Amino acid sequence: MAGDSSFDIVSEVNLQELDNAVVQAQKEIITRFDFRGTAAAVGALDKKEKLIVLTADSEPQLESVLQVLVAKMTKRGVDPRCLDRQKLEIATHNTVRQKVKLKSGIDRDTAKALQKQIKDMGLKVNASIQGDTLRVSSSKKDDLQAVITALRANPPSIPLQFNNYR
């Protein structure tokens, strides 16, 4: 086992890049002609709660606000799959509001599904769940690279990063 190589599979959000994307989205919404004079806005990123609040005059306009945010996130290299949209709420002055939470970490069910997917590949690798990360180890680095390639080709519903290569 001393010659084993390993890496960790994690799901993290770069909060600084996400904050930059939120600020860019706010600037675009302020300057866009179709949002002038409306309640369309992207709230500031709450880093402790990992929450963004979107507001608009109507549901279709809220979808447009979300599209602006997703475009800015993609441009900054933040995967939009980390967004977890909550229930649409009716706010004051005939506006709608939607809270968007950030998904970080791999939950137990997703980790088990990833572990099963890795074992079904038939490679000599060992995948173990460690909290909100998944450690994959093997004596062959080629097997580890095959696991990374397969997971990138068939991604789950959450964004994955591979780090802590040993």
Do 69 and 54 meet the contact criterion of CB atoms below 8 Å apart?
A: yes
pLDDT over threshold 80, residue 135: yes
Residues of the chain with CATH 3.30.70.990: 15-102
The token duo for 127 is 């995948």
- At residue 154, the pLDDT reads 87
Top-tier CATH class for 15-102:
alpha beta
Residue 2: per-residue pLDDT: 54
Going from the C-alpha of 102 to that of each of 51, 61, 65, the distances in angstroms are: 6, 21, 17
pLDDT over 70 percentage in the chain? 98
Q: Is the pLDDT of residue 92 over 90?
A: no
Greatest distance between any 2 Cα atoms in the chain: 65
Mean of all residue pLDDT scores within the chain: 92
- Of 2-6, 19-23, 58-62, 75-79, least confident by mean pLDDT is 2-6
pLDDT at residue 163 in the model: 93
Percent of the chain topping pLDDT 90:
85
5-11+105-163 CATH pick, 3.40.50.970, 3.30.70.860, 3.40.50.300, 3.20.20.70: 3.30.70.860
Looking at residue 157, what is its pLDDT? 87
For residue 4, what is the DSSP state?
-
| Range(s) of the chain covered by CATH 3.30.70.860 | 5-11+105-163
Which amino acid appears at position 154 of this protein?
N
